[in-house]
Chains A and B, each alone.
Chain A
C-alpha cells in the first residue's frame, strides 16, 4: 500500500506543484490572457459539458480514431509487404523517403481541393502523417526477424497466412507498437490542424473560434481538452501494449536478470 501511495505521489506530484504555482502566480492577476485555475475549471465545465461535447469533441475523436485505425491497418499491411520483399524495398525506398519528407500539413489545402471540405479530408490528413512511423517501423521489424525463427518456420513448412500470423506479425510487434506510439501524437496534431482549416465543427475549429472572439478562458479550456485526449490515448495505448507485448516484457526482464 505504501508503495502504491509513493507511486501515486510521484505520478501526481509535479502536476499538483505546477497547478499550485499557477494558482499562486495568478492570485491577484488581472491579466486578460491568463485565467486563474478556478476560472478555468468553471469555464471548462460550462463549455464542454453540454451540446458542445456532442458537436465538437465527439466528431474530433471520431476522426482521430478513424485516421489512426486506418494508419495502423495500412501501415502494417504495406510495412509487411515492403519488409518481406527486398526488390520492392529497393524500388520504393527513395520514393518513400521523399513522401515522408513532405510535411503532411501542406497537404491540407491540396486535399481540400481534391476531396472537398469534409470528414474524409480530415481523416486522410491524419493518415498521411500518422502512417509513416508505423510503416517504417513495421518494415524494420519484419526485416529484423530472427534467422533461426525463419529457418524453424521453413523446416516445419509453416507458410503463408500461418507464417504471417505466428511468425511475422508477432516478431515485428514490438517495433510496430513503437511506431504506433509515435503516430498517436502526430495524429492528434493533424486532427487539430485539419480542423483549423475549413471546418465548422471539431476541437481545432472551436479553439480558433474562441481565440478570434477573445473568449480566452474558453480557448484555454479547449487546449485542456486536447491534453486530456492525448492523455487518454496514451493510457489506452499502454493497456493494449501491455497485453500484446506481455511476452516481450517478460523476455526482456529475464534477459536483463541474467
Chain B
C-alpha cells in the first residue's frame, strides 16, 4: 500500500521535523506573529494530534507544513528534505469538505484527479479510486456528485482521495469540526483504521480535546498566539480503541484532564500575558 520508498535514500531521522518555526503575517501595522517558536519531530508511522485554543495558529502551522504558506523563520523538513512547496508524498484533508471537493466532478473523478495529474495510467487510477472508496465504505457512491452526499460522506470522499494518492504523510485540518457527533465518532474510527492499514504518518489538527486523546498516539498542545509548544503528551492507551470502552478508561479521563488543564493554562496566559503558577 505504501508509496515506493526504495528510491529515497536511507534516512534515519524523523519523518517530519519542525524546528524554531516562526510565522509572521505582514499587516499594515507591522505584522502579526501567529507562530513564535515551534519545535517538534514526528517519527514515521506516528499518529500525532495537535490541539490548541482557538486562534492558536493551528491552521497556519498546517499550511506551513503542507508547503502552502511560506514560513518566516525556522526549519521544516520532510524526510530530511526542506519543504519549499507542497511535497509529493503528502496529502491534506481540509476542514471545508464542501469546498475541497470539486462539485463539477463525480465522486469517482474527484478521487482519481490527483492520480491523473500524477500521470497514473487510467486502469490503475480506476482500481485505486475504487479501492479507496471501498476503504471508506463508499463503494457505491462513485457515480454521484459530492453535493448529493451528506457532510460526513463528503469528508469520507476527501479521505478516500487522500488514501488513493498513497501519501507518506497525511495532514488533517480539523476535518470533523463541521459534522454531527455520531458521524464524527464513525469518522474517528475510520481514521484510526486507515492509519493502521496503511502505516502512514498522520498529523491531525483539532480543537477537540477528547478527539485528540482518543485518536492520537501523542498529543501536542499549542499555546495561544504567538504560538509555542505548551506540552507534548504521549498517549499510552491501548492501540485497539473503541468509542465506548476506551473513552471510559480511567487513563483516558486522566489524559483528557491533563490536556484540558494545559489548554486552560494556555488561554489564561494569553489573557494575562503572564505565566500563572501551576
The judgment on whether A and B are partners is: yes
Which A residues contact B (CB, under 8 angstroms)? 146-149, 151-152, 154-159, 162, 166-167, 170-171, 173, 247-248, 250-251, 254-255
Which B residues are CB-close (under 8 A) to A152?
92, 94, 100
- Asked whether, in the complex, the Cβ of A151 is within 8 Å of the Cβ of B148, the reply is no
CB distance from B162 to the nearest CB of A (A): 9
CB distance from B186 to the nearest CB of A (A): 21
Q: Which of B116, B117, B145 contacts A247, CB < 8 Å?
A: B145
Which A residues are CB-close (under 8 A) to B102?
149, 166-167, 170
Q: A154-B68, A247-B105 are in contact. List 15 more A-B contacts (CB 8 A).
A: A146-B99, A148-B96, A148-B100, A149-B99, A151-B63, A151-B100, A152-B92, A154-B85, A155-B68, A156-B91, A158-B113, A167-B102, A247-B145, A247-B147, A250-B145
B163 at the interface (CB under 8 A from A): no
A159 to B67, CA, bound (A): 15
Beta-carbon contacts under 8 Å, B59-78 to A:
63, 66-68
Interface centre among B85, B104, B148, B161 (most CB of A within 10 A): B104
- Sorting the interface of chain B by its residue count into under 10, 10 to 19, 20 to 34 or 35 or more gives 20 to 34
B204 at the interface (CB under 8 A from A): no
Which A residues are CB-close (under 8 A) to B103?
247-248, 251
Which A residues are CB-close (under 8 A) to B45?
none
- Asked whether, in the complex, the Cβ of B117 is within 8 Å of the Cβ of A254, the reply is no
Q: Chain B: which residue is nearest A156 at the CB level?
A: B114
Q: Would you give 9 A-B contacts (Cβ < 8 Å), ordered by A?
A: A146-B99, A147-B99, A148-B100, A154-B67, A155-B66, A155-B67, A156-B117, A157-B114, A166-B105
CB distance from B169 to the nearest CB of A (A): 11
Contact with A along B95-127 (1 / 0, CB 8 A): 010011011110000000110111000000000
B142 at the interface (CB under 8 A from A): no
CB distance from A17 to the nearest CB of B (A): 41
Knowing A149-B102, A248-B103 are in contact, say whether A159-B92 is a contact too (CB < 8 A): no
- Asked whether, in the complex, the Cβ of B66 is within 8 Å of the Cβ of A162, the reply is no
Interface centre among B85, B100, B161 (most CB of A within 10 A): B100
- Asked whether, in the complex, the Cβ of B104 is within 8 Å of the Cβ of A162, the reply is no
The 9 tightest CB contacts between A and B, nearest first, are: A156-B114, A148-B99, A170-B104, A158-B117, A247-B104, A155-B92, A251-B147, A162-B117, A155-B86
Contact with A along B154-174 (1 / 0, CB 8 A): 000000010001000000000
Which A residues are CB-close (under 8 A) to B165?
156
A167 to B85, CA, bound (A): 19
CB distance from B143 to the nearest CB of A (A): 13
B90 at the interface (CB under 8 A from A): yes
- Asked whether, in the complex, the Cβ of B147 is within 8 Å of the Cβ of A250, the reply is yes
- Asked whether, in the complex, the Cβ of A151 is within 8 Å of the Cβ of B113, the reply is no
- Asked whether, in the complex, the Cβ of A166 is within 8 Å of the Cβ of B86, the reply is no
Interface centre among B67, B92, B103, B116 (most CB of A within 10 A): B103
Which B residues are CB-close (under 8 A) to A254?
147-148
CB distance from A162 to the nearest CB of B (A): 5
CB distance from A213 to the nearest CB of B (A): 53
B88 at the interface (CB under 8 A from A): yes
Knowing A156-B113, A157-B118 are in contact, say whether A250-B86 is a contact too (CB < 8 A): no
Which A residues are CB-close (under 8 A) to B104?
170-171, 173, 247-248
Which B residues are CB-close (under 8 A) to A166?
102, 105, 113
A148 to B104, CA, bound (A): 15
A115 to B68, CA, bound (A): 50
A162 to B92, CA, bound (A): 19
A149 to B99, CA, bound (A): 6
Contact with A along B170-196 (1 / 0, CB 8 A): 000000000000000000000000000
Knowing A151-B68, A247-B145, A250-B148 are in contact, say whether A158-B114 is a contact too (CB < 8 A): yes
CB distance from A171 to the nearest CB of B (A): 8
Q: Chain A: which residue is nearest B109 at the CB level?
A: A166
A151 to B277, CA, bound (A): 42
Which A residues are CB-close (under 8 A) to B90?
155
